[in-house]
Amino acid sequence: GFRQRVQARDDSCIGTGKCTKYGSCSACPDGLTQTDEVQLDVFITPGMDDDDTLKFDGVADEKVGFQTGDVILHIRSIRHEFFVRKKNDLHMGMNIPLRDALIGFSTQIEHVDGRHIDITRHEVTSCGEVHVLRGEGMPIRMSPGNFGDLHITFTVVFPSVLS
């Protein structure tokens, strides 16, 4: 919940028009408004992106003589250790040893949703090469069951000594 200012209803002064300014009524020491706590239910839908907004009409602070405002929430993503989100796609980097870059490899990564995804390469992998896994990105908003892609950029790690 959060706190907001709402108009107080005190029929001994406001209702009769006797209290017209802040602090003019001994029964209303905080003026014509009082602090009240309100709970808003916020639903984050799959696929929401940074700067998406949620608007709650008419629930912000009230003030006598003014229209009640709106509460607007801006979505902000938390930075992930490995993945970078670009709209519906996820991007990550992966270091691979020279040997794996030349003969291929198989490994697993843990997706942001906790699943383990197999990465298998049978061909030579160049430094800077991007491997795209279709449908392994973020959920596409308003398109249930559809997902963006996961882009993996490989960096080939050369040995410091040949043996």
Domain residue spans of the chain: 1-77, 84-157
**Among 5, 11, 47, 3, which Cα is nearest to 30's?**
5
- Regarding pTM above 0.95, the answer is no
Question: Residues with Cβ < 8 Å from 75, sequence gap 6 or more?
Answer: 44, 48, 49, 50, 51, 52, 53, 54
pLDDT in tens, 95-132: 999 999 999 999 999 999 899 999 999 999 999 999 99
Copy the structure tokens of residue 88: 């519906």
Average pLDDT over residues 4-32: 56
Residue-level pLDDT at 131: 96
Cα of first residue to Cα of last residue in the chain, in angstroms, is 64
Question: Residues with Cβ < 8 Å from 10, sequence gap 6 or more?
Answer: 19, 25, 27, 28
Tell whether domain 84-157 is in CATH 2.60.260.20.
yes
Average pLDDT over residues 58-72: 79
